[in-house]
Chain A
């Protein structure tokens, strides 16, 4: 779990986290999916784009997840389709967490720029993300890089908002005054004293954003933004919506949605558990 390792020197936090039932359930779900994706290629000999069996075959021993209307093996489609969906979401969440962290820290620490940065954050939160990405993708080739760049452009805002709120309260604590009395400059207090205090919150939001990102990325793939012929969780559903109903292939519609939901729920559970540990005042929001 690289997401958890990303919290260095915070053993007490991590220990508390693992006492949270939510986080354990979430981590279990994600671990199960990652193992499934990792060993997937050994479970199925078929290429995701090869005609591997009969058309519209319900789950059998040869094709545990069944086949679609062109005889593609759905198990291998779901295993290989994980990468475009998960990697874009991870990239986007990581970029958003880094930007949101710095904007939030600066916005919380400096009074003068703080108002402007908070305004910028509120403004970003107001844009209709999906329609805007659709518009941009209609003009530019919607590569995975472009999609994750666009997601970063919107997903940093919730991170910044939460981090800023936390910084505002950290700033009032005695050790910040102590650092000031010791003659530390504003920039170094901000980066060396305040930032480490709120970093775990940015990690929590990184994890929550992975969940949000997976749902958004698959939604775009489902709508046919990008190349629907590239196998991804969303594009499997794109084809399932077009043909699955006509052929009665219930498994084709169910499977990708279930795995997307498991991944998104898993990350959300870890993120919420994390956030709760980090920020007991959260419930006040």
Chain B
């Protein structure tokens, strides 16, 4: 089967599972959905009203299901109902406010971590077995195993609370009015979250890149290149780094799900008001519509990102086009 077609089918299954779980779980949970959700923190009467509106619980399960699917797929923006916690804001409006902030955090962190990992792998492939390589490898394993939320706490402690270099909380200063001050405020707020997230990705990326660069180093064409008298630097750049791109893209595509989980934690720790922060707030307030909508959007981000990765993979690796 064609690689892309296979991936699309897999992605559609993932989406179907998430959408159906969102529907089924509240209905099979102990007690009925209404009772569970009313144990939340807001006004019970209000929640009951909202629930009737959201779930149409008096209708048959079939009608509920069709309505549910119609609300998600045939409505724009998708209708996940109304948040309990931010009543009367709709879930889609909350998500819309936060969506691009999460994308910004993820994309910047990914780019930073890949660039640094590339640099580290390039240097250690030139000086194999050196102290630098050993240190990079050990620190990568340590970075990979250190909980990202704790790294976040420590960063806040050192650079925000103690040194006052960066803000403790938030994603942008509300007083920033001009475009320039707005942008600088976003950067200023974003540094620590990006460092935490990029740092936790760095270990994984470096370990994969180191493995592949070493494999390329042992290959015949690198041997031939050095016999032809090409300089080490040229070999590193045009042979080794280029050939290790493929496994890296493949890794990134597969690690998107993990990346989203980490981004959720980073946003929660830094009070960076993106989708992850919304999700974590939803735990405390038993805000099921918000949890449901956020999970759906996070899944879509993973699937779209994965699909882009797959397209890049197919471009990079002609073998995938044939099989």
Contact = CB atoms under 8 A, between A and B. Distances in A.
Nearest to A121: B10
Given A126-B14, A127-B257, A128-B260, A237 B265 contact: no
B186 interface: no
A64 B59 CA distance: 61
A215 B145 contact: yes
Given A128-B298, A223-B268, A253 B147 contact: no
A264 to B, nearest CB: 4
A183 interface: no
B25 interface: yes
Contact of A211 (B18, B145, B264): B145
Contact of B25 (A126, A139, A222): A139
Interface stretch (B42-50, B118-126, B207-215, B225-233): B207-215
B149 A269 contact: no
A272 B141 contact: yes
Contacts, number: 145
Nearest to B259: A128
Interface string B186-224: 000000000000000000000000011011000000000
A147 interface: no
Interface in A53-82: none
B142 A134 contact: no
Given A135-B291, A268-B144, A126 B36 contact: no
Contacts of A31: none
Nearest to A260: B147
Interface in B288-307: 288, 291-292, 294-295, 298-299, 302-303, 306
Contact of B153 (A129, A225, A257, A268): A257
Contacts of B13: 123
Contacts of B156: 245
A245 B25 contact: no
Interface in B256-274: 256-258, 260-261, 264-265, 268-269
A130 B29 contact: no
Contact of B157 (A211, A222, A250): A250
A191 to B, nearest CB: 29
Contacts of B261: 128-131, 216, 219
Contact of A282 (B146, B211, B256, B269): B211
Counting chain B residues whose Cβ lies within 8 A of the other chain, the interface size class is 35 or more
Contacts of A45: none
Contacts of A130: 260-261, 264-265
B145 A268 contact: yes
Contact of A269 (B6, B141, B151, B257): B141
Contacts of B29: 139-140
A131 B153 contact: no
A215 B295 contact: no
A127 B145 contact: no
Contacts of A225: 283
Contacts of A253: 153-154, 157
Nearest to A128: B260
Contacts of A265: 141-142, 145-146
A261 B149 contact: no
Contacts of B38: none
B239 interface: no
Contacts of A22: 141
A231 to B, nearest CB: 17
Interface residues of A, number: 50
A257 B141 contact: no
Nearest to A262: B145
B145 A126 contact: no
Contacts of B18: 127, 132
Contacts of B269: 241
B281 to A, nearest CB: 10
Contact of B294 (A131, A240, A264, A282): A131
Given A131-B294, A245-B157, A265-B146, 4 more contacts: A126-B257, A127-B257, A215-B147, A283-B214
Interface of A: 22, 119, 122-123, 125-132, 134-141, 211, 215-216, 218-219, 222-225, 237, 240-241, 245, 250, 253-254, 256-257, 260-261, 264-265, 267-269, 272, 282-285
15 contacts: A125-B254, A127-B14, A129-B258, A130-B265, A134-B283, A141-B30, A245-B156, A253-B153, A254-B154, A256-B150, A260-B146, A261-B147, A264-B147, A267-B145, A268-B141
Interface of B: 6, 9-11, 13-14, 17-18, 21-22, 25-26, 29-30, 36, 141-142, 144-147, 149-151, 153-154, 156-157, 161, 168, 211-212, 214-215, 247, 254, 256-258, 260-261, 264-265, 268-269, 279-280, 282-284, 286, 288, 291-292, 294-295, 298-299, 302-303, 306
The 9 closest A-B pairs by CB, nearest first: A257-B150, A130-B261, A264-B145, A139-B29, A265-B145, A283-B211, A261-B146, A128-B260, A268-B145
